[in-house]
């Protein structure tokens, strides 16, 4: 017998339309935000611009408090209290935000570079993008076990960057791979190391690997993925190739 959270996870056509519309609005806001970024602007000012932009697009109820982080603050995975930290050349910029349409949420993370990234920044970004694409391809091939997908991403990133066990609380991939999305921002199923959840056809989950290094910064790339009979469909259209993420 299915539990309520398992039934809720499978979205109807109308529910998917609401989630997709919320995501398209978020992508419009992201495009607007990139247009106002300039040297010296603060995290707080960008956060306020994001909130006002959602209101402009008639989506005033947000999925959660927007995350806007510059430079070393990108190492804080839940930087939901933006500061007066000013954007400067060489900074990484992390956004994580979403809105609701008819109570249904969107969720998206993107990490940008304010000018050309240095070697370490580029290495981190490419690794996170590579593993996200690897996980999505594995879902497309039929893998539905949450902890298997999480382990795939976690092992890849920790081995690539030789993260030691004692450092895993502060450095490396320090959160779950993803979660279901619906009328609340974190729904069943959960993609975590000890999760026994599976991904049913018709559910929408985030795939959001990340790498974080205290005192340096971090990268997170997050898309929403619909599980289908034959594989999956990525509902997120915002670019994520590294060239598109360099703001000059």
Element (H, E) at 136: helix 119-140
Task: Flag whether pLDDT at 39 surpasses 90.
Answer: yes
Rounded to whole angstroms, what are the CA distances from 24 to 2, 63, 109, 245? 32, 14, 14, 19
Q: How confident is the model at residue 78 (pLDDT cuts 50, 70, 90)?
A: confident
Cβ-Cβ contacts under 8 Å for 71 (sequence gap 6 or more): 85, 88, 91, 92, 217
| The pLDDT of residue 10 | 95
Q: Give the Cα separation of 82 and 132 in Å (integer).
A: 26
Q: Which fold has domain 4-247?
A: Creatine Amidinohydrolase (3.90.230)
Task: Flag whether pLDDT at 1 surpasses 60.
Answer: no
| Percent of the chain scoring above 70 in pLDDT | 97
For 142-187, what is each residue's pLDDT tens digit?
Answer: 999 999 999 999 999 989 888 776 667 678 999 999 999 999 999 9
Phi-psi domain of 61 (left: phi exceeds 0; alpha: psi -120 through 50; beta: other): beta
Q: Give the Cα separation of 209 and 212 in Å (integer).
A: 10
Task: Flag whether pLDDT at 2 surpasses 80.
Answer: no
Q: Give the Cα separation of 70 and 74 in Å (integer).
A: 6
Considering only CA atoms, which of 72, 92, 98, 97 is closest in space to residue 83?
A: 72
**How many Cβ atoms sit within 10 Å of the Cβ of residue 40?**
8
Task: Flag whether pLDDT at 236 surpasses 70.
Answer: yes
**How many Cβ atoms sit within 10 Å of the Cβ of residue 113?**
21
Q: Give the Cα separation of 190 and 146 in Å (integer).
A: 7
Q: Give the Cα separation of 138 and 118 in Å (integer).
A: 30
Residue position matching structure tokens 């990234």: 117
Q: Give the Cα separation of 46 and 37 in Å (integer).
A: 8
Task: Flag whether pLDDT at 18 surpasses 60.
Answer: yes
For 200-222, what is each residue's pLDDT tens digit?
Answer: 999 999 999 999 999 999 999 99
Q: Give the Cα separation of 60 and 201 in Å (integer).
A: 30
Residue position matching structure tokens 């993008």: 129
């Amino acid at each position: 017998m299915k539990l309520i959270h398992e039934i809720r996870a499978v979205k109807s056509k109308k529910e998917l339309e609401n989630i997709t519309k919320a995501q398209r609005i978020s992508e419009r806001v992201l495009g607007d935000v990139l247009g106002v970024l300039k040297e010296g602007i603060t995290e707080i000012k960008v956060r306020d611009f994001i909130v006002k932009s959602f209101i402009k697009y008639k989506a005033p109820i947000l999925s959660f408090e927007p995350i806007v982080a510059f430079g070393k603050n990108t190492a804080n995975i839940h930087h939901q209290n933006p500061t007066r930290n000013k954007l400067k050349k060489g900074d990484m910029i992390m956004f994580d935000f979403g809105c609701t349409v008819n109570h249904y949420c969107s969720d998206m993370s993107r990490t940008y570079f304010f000018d050309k990234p240095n070697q370490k920044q580029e290495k981190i970004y490419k690794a996170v993008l590579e593993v996200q694409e690897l996980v999505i391809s594995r879902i497309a091939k039929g893998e539905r076990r949450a902890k298997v997908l999480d382990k795939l991403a976690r092992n890849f990133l920790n081995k690539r960057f030789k993260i030691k066990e004692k450092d895993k609380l502060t450095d490396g991939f320090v959160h779950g791979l993803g979660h279901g999305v619906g009328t609340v921002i974190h729904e069943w199923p959960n993609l975590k190391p000890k999760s026994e959840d599976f991904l049913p056809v018709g559910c929408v989950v985030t795939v959001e690997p990340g790498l974080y290094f205290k005192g340096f910064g971090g990268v997170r790339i997050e898309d929403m993925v619909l599980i289908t009979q034959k594989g999956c469909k990525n509902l997120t259209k915002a670019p994520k190739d590294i060239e598109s993420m360099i703001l000059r």
